[in-house]
Structure 1
Amino acid sequence: MTNPFLTLLNDKGTLLADGATGTNLFNMGLMSGDAPELWNTDQPQKITALYKGAVDAGSDLFLTNSFGANASRMKLHGAEKRVHELARVSAEIGREVADTADRPVIVAGSVGPTGEIMEPVGTLSHALAVEMFHEAADGLKAGGADIGWLETISAPEEYRAAAEGFALAGLEWAGTMSFDTAGRTMMGLTSSDMVKMVDDLDEYAPLAFGANCGTGASDLLRTILGFSAQGPERPLIAKGNAGIPKYVDGHIHYDGTPALMADYAVMARACGARVIGGCCGTMPEHLRHMREALDTRTMTHPPALEEIVDRLGAFSSQSDGTGEDAAPARRTSRRRRAAS
């Protein structure tokens, strides 16, 4: 039986995913240090508003408010025994929003990193990591998620453990990593490394894979080009931040305008991505512009690195992490205008 995610992707060719979870919830009153997942039961109307914000802006897919729903992270809030419940409720709320939409919308069950370092570098064993991911995935499936969605992973060992956890729950999934360290993940993985890792997962492999978060939209597109260069068979996901984070009046502000994110969306598709959304800083207004751009604009060639810089801003590092030609690191006047 074909997964609804693949069905919709095949029907539409390209899917618009959602934007930020944390940024939007902070704007609704979430305090720094609080667990967003507790709002699934304490403030369900705000989680409904979060999901509807993406759907009303034109998203074909949104992630549930369950990024930190694992025993390690929830233990910090005395809620480690509530992981399954919180994951389930996040998906139940999402299911209601999707089922009342006027078009097909995919509920993607968000699963983030455990927050611990896996063996042999750290102390988290493979078996325990699989157990934590399984618990979250099982809750998401029970709540009606169409697909699991692993995101912001840095270590290949954790990605593999999550793959097994999803398999144990019987939940098909997609998974992204964060390339935020000079073109590599924090644990040193390059874009080409990830393609090989995904292929090697065999029966545990995701339906789609890609990159999320990281630094700015420019860096993320360079990573997507790295994926595409390997000729992967699975659909690619691009979920970049809305510009670069800056401290403004004591708060983190992302400088990416809706117009910049519209350019990013069109360029991400030209780079080879078929599921395109935003990450930190991406608000419904950004998504509306991205939706319009994907529906009305075309780009027939993958952008050159210089074109990405000119349209979206400088890369944060000279190299994409693979030792190939260094990327330009200049900022253009166009970038400065976009950020103003």
Structure 2
Amino acid sequence: MSNAFTDLLAEKGTLLADGATGTNLFNMGLMSGEPPEFWNTDEPAKIRTLYKGAVDAGSDLFLTNSFGANASRLKLHNAAKRAHELSRVAAEIGREIADTAGRKVIVAGSVGPTGEIMEPVGTLSHSVAVEMFHETADGLKAGGADIGWLETISAAEEYAAAAEGFALAGLPWVGTMSFDTAGRTMMGLTSEGMVDMVEGLDNAPLAYGANCGTGASDLLRTVLGFAGKGSTRPIVAKGNAGIPKYVDGHIHYDGTPELMAQYAVMARNCGASIIGGCCGTMPNHLSAMREALDTTSKGSAPELAEIVAALGDFSSASDGTDGEGPVRAPRKGRRRG
């Protein structure tokens, strides 16, 4: 099915996505514990600045400030009933920025996890999860988002519930998971397992992949795992700008623009065609990634040793697909953040 996202990907071959939301908003004054989504109505000028920063740096698509705009997360701030509104406004501001960019830019409606654990491990039922995702997706669609963009998911069950929610809203979507536990998601899914899961969905995403996690090296190892399955579905790589370090009371990421430029080129060589950054990725990183992708021809897939030499060591010896990683996260005391 043709839409703005698939059309632009077919035209360009590789799309540069955006960078961090939280890192950029914290730099604008967002306080720890404050819901970023409230800024859609309270500080719209800052959200315009966030989106425009990615566009001006050369991004072909950017994510809306709606990661936590679901009833479960917002109820922690007595705002569960604002999920649709805050999603809609996030997309409306995005539509404004995209439509005045002077070129085709995709507005991708960010949808994060509910923050709850689904049955049978946790208490969140499939039907309730579907309705929460439906509400958020419907708000994004009403605001003018071109696609939905599910991210930082750990459980296959939650990914499947989101797929149903997007289907109910009639919004095409892209979906990524976070592989941050010895090459697996927190709930035990491997890169190979994700491909099998995605291809088995009734409402499969337009593209799938990985975001956040640990460092850029780990994320590229995961992308190689996706590519090795042989699916023709486009792959997303959205890695953090280096490794987080706690300095003077704040989290800093050590990835330089030069490192992220190398990461972008290597991500494409690994098989990704939608490439961006996650935590710590600023407009200056995106500008370097844009230039690197535009001036470097696609090469062959790198060996693991080449990834380590360029981007640093892996956080674990195993990527989880060899049976050495954890099978499933502990059933108590864990919560997706």
The TM-score bracket by the shorter chain reads over 0.9
In the alignment, does 2:56 pair up with 1:56? yes
Shift of 1:324: 7.2
1:313 corresponds to: 312
Shift of 1:323: 1.1
Instruction: Identify which range, 274-283 or 295-304, moves more after superposition.
Output: 295-304
Shift of 1:38: 0.3
In the alignment, does 2:205 pair up with 1:206? yes
Q: 1:190 to 1:236 in 2, by over 3 A?
A: same
**Where do residues 23-102 of structure 1 align in structure 2 (5 Å cutoff)?**
23-102=23-102
How far apart are the structure 1 equivalents of 2:41 and 2:270? 40
Letter in 2 for 1:141: K
Shift of 1:98: 0.1
How far apart are the structure 2 equivalents of 1:324 and 1:311? 27
Q: 2:273 is paired with a residue of what secondary structure?
A: strand
Give the aligned CA root-mean-square deviation in angstroms. Answer: 1.0
2:263 corresponds to: 264
How far apart are the structure 1 equivalents of 2:324 and 2:269? 21
How far apart are the structure 2 equivalents of 1:193 and 1:3? 28
Measured against aligned partners, the alpha-carbon deviations of 1:230-286 in whole angstroms (never above 9, x if no partner) come to: 011210000000000000111000000000000000000000000000000000000
How far apart are the structure 1 equivalents of 2:270 and 2:285? 20
1:248 corresponds to: 247
How far apart are the structure 2 equivalents of 1:300 and 1:135? 42
How far apart are the structure 2 equivalents of 1:130 and 1:220? 28
TM-score relative to the length of structure 1? 0.95
2:195 corresponds to: 195
Identity %: 79
In the alignment, does 2:13 pair up with 1:19? no
2:238 corresponds to: 239
Q: 1:186 to 1:324 in 2, by over 3 A?
A: closer
1:136 corresponds to: 136
Task: Point out 4+ residue stretches in structure 1 off by more than 2 angstroms.
Answer: none
Measured against aligned partners, the alpha-carbon deviations of 1:78-137 in whole angstroms (never above 9, x if no partner) come to: 111110000000000000000000110000000000000000000000000000000000
How far apart are the structure 2 equivalents of 1:325 and 1:259? 33
Shift of 1:298: 2.3
Measured against aligned partners, the alpha-carbon deviations of 1:131-173 in whole angstroms (never above 9, x if no partner) come to: 0000000000000000000000000000000000000000000
Gaps of 5+ in 1: 327-340
Letter in 2 for 1:14: T
How far apart are the structure 2 equivalents of 1:198 and 1:3? 20
Shift of 1:299: 4.0
Q: 2:45 is paired with a residue of what secondary structure?
A: helix
TM-score relative to the length of structure 2? 0.95
Measured against aligned partners, the alpha-carbon deviations of 1:16-46 in whole angstroms (never above 9, x if no partner) come to: 0000000000000000000000000000000
Q: 1:239 is paired with a residue of what secondary structure?
A: strand
1:169 corresponds to: 169
2:277 corresponds to: 278
Number of aligned residues: 325
Q: 1:76 is paired with a residue of what secondary structure?
A: helix
How far apart are the structure 2 equivalents of 1:116 and 1:132? 12
Q: 1:131 to 1:324 in 2, by over 3 A?
A: closer
2:332 corresponds to: none
**Where do residues 174-185 of structure 1 align in structure 2 (5 Å cutoff)?**
174-185=174-185
How far apart are the structure 2 equivalents of 1:324 and 1:276? 28
How far apart are the structure 1 equivalents of 2:263 and 2:289? 8
Q: 1:107 is paired with a residue of what secondary structure?
A: strand
1:152 corresponds to: 152
Gaps of 5+ in 2: 326-337
Shift of 1:325: 9.6
How far apart are the structure 2 equivalents of 1:164 and 1:96? 28
Shift of 1:297: 1.1
How far apart are the structure 2 equivalents of 1:325 and 1:224? 18
2:335 corresponds to: none
Letter in 1 for 2:186: M
How far apart are the structure 1 equivalents of 2:143 and 2:249? 38
Shift of 1:300: 1.5
How far apart are the structure 1 equivalents of 2:298 and 2:15? 16
